[in-house]
Amino acid sequence: MTAIRDDLERRLALIGEPASRHVFTLLYPEAARVAADAADARRRAGLSLGPLDGAIVSIKDLFDVAGEPTTAGSAIRRKAAPAERDAPVVARLRRAGAVIIGKTNMSEFAFSGLGLNPHWGTPGNAADPSLVPGGSSSGAGVSAALGTSDIAIGTDTGGSVRIPAALNGVVGFKPTARRVPLDGAFPLSPSLDSIGPLARTVAACAETDAVLAGEEFVPLRPLGLRDLRIGVPRGLLFTETDPAVAQAFEAALGRLGAAGARIGDLPFDDLMGRMAEATAAAPLAAIEAAEVHADWIDAEEASFDPRVHARIARGRPVAAGTYIRMMRARAGLIRAADERLADVDVMALPATAIPAVPIAAVAEDDAFTRTNLLMLRNTMVGNLFDLTGISLPLPGQARPVGLMLLARHGQDRRLLEIAAAVEAQVC
């Protein structure tokens, strides 16, 4: 069995190769070596702190680590006061024996589904460095795919775990919002934010999710696929879908159907239409982000990524009363979606309508905006309607494609068990 310290040194060497350029914003080589040596010592003594003991883990560059500023992918935050303590999720990872190798790159302030960053550079996609990595957890997706970390911890406000997972060919899990504590994670939209893992397998995501949520891990028991009820929300969420994505998705449904799953259409356009009406004043993420950044959005405007600044600024004119009515309407729609999903075990659709596009193709603002909206469209459903979701990599594609499964809020464990069965059948 390879020593964890030797494995760590191999990963550190990989990080120095061209494919990993811009993937990390900060490395912890000495602290990681101490943690790896401790894990090796426990292994020699026949001791273990759990399934993450000795796992090489990266964390997104918006989690507090004691003694350093939390930059959240922004030049503005380089001069922020150092964090006084580790974020709870970071502390839980350390207690579980994880070897934290470094912080991964991200879209500035987590506000993009494409993963570009003009301050720290843009990581190249793991499948082809000329392609976008997906965001906002861009470095997390690339690190998990390249193997510079076993597990990458990201955040998901509109798809920021599931999109880079889909575009880089790994598994990405979004837990029910508020199940994992958000303290010590720089916020984008507190009503929508959640923290989840990216890894090569559903099992690794499940192990990590238990640690992040402060729960005792029990090994997954994949659910049988026979008579599994899968709802497909055909309609708005299938428009403008790339032919390769559509073909991969339908092939996956075919394999699930052959294994005995019951697949049928699940109407969802009406709920999406009502959500669009409720949030017509401005995107919820923009409204809440405008409050987060209120103290410096004007004074530091020149230091922002202009595209991020423009999206945050969209939320500024929204009055408090409008926001309150929006949240009240959203709460009703969350209940309506929960009732709709009661008739199925999971809802299935492509994680993203399109695969990764060339970075050069989104150089102009119009192309960036159009592509970013399309990239976020499917995953955003999970956040707006307070669902739990996962993206699974579909095989045989030149550019990685993700299969997304969504389940009712609070059904995280059940979703992971279903995903493990689907993974075995189609991935």
Q: Known catalytic residues?
A: 60, 136, 160
Q: Cα dist. 371→114, 118, 140, 280, 356 in Å? A: 8, 18, 21, 20, 10
C-alpha–C-alpha distance, residues 127 and 114, integer Å: 15
Structure tokens that stand for 218 in this block? 């029990």
Could you count the other beta carbons within 10 Å of the beta carbon of residue 264? 10
β-partners of residue 407 are 388
User: Among 66, 136, 61, which residue's Cα sits nearest to residue 94?
Assistant: 66
Using a 10 angstrom Cβ sphere, with 0-12 exposed, 13-18 middle and 19 or more buried, the burial of residue 408 is buried
Structure tokens that stand for 113 in this block? 């589904």
User: Among 282, 410, 265, 394, which residue's Cα sits nearest to residue 334?
Assistant: 410
User: Among 140, 117, 135, which residue's Cα sits nearest to residue 59?
Assistant: 140
**Contact call for residues 212 and 195 (beta carbons, < 8 A):** yes
Q: Residue 62 CA to chain centroid, in angstroms?
A: 13
User: Among 75, 89, 80, which residue's Cα sits nearest to residue 152?
Assistant: 89
**Contact call for residues 308 and 112 (beta carbons, < 8 A):** yes
How many degrees, rounded to 5, is the angle at CA 256 between CA 253 and CA 258? Answer: 110
Structure tokens that stand for 118 in this block? 């003009």
C-alpha–C-alpha distance, residues 124 and 127, integer Å: 8
C-alpha–C-alpha distance, residues 211 and 338, integer Å: 26
C-alpha–C-alpha distance, residues 284 and 380, integer Å: 11
Structure tokens that stand for 279 in this block? 């949030």
C-alpha–C-alpha distance, residues 62 and 304, integer Å: 16
Structure tokens that stand for 166 in this block? 């889909």
In eight-state DSSP terms, residue 109 is: G
Structure tokens that stand for 223 in this block? 């659910």
Could you count the other beta carbons within 10 Å of the beta carbon of residue 45? 8
The end-to-end CA distance of the chain, in Å, is 27
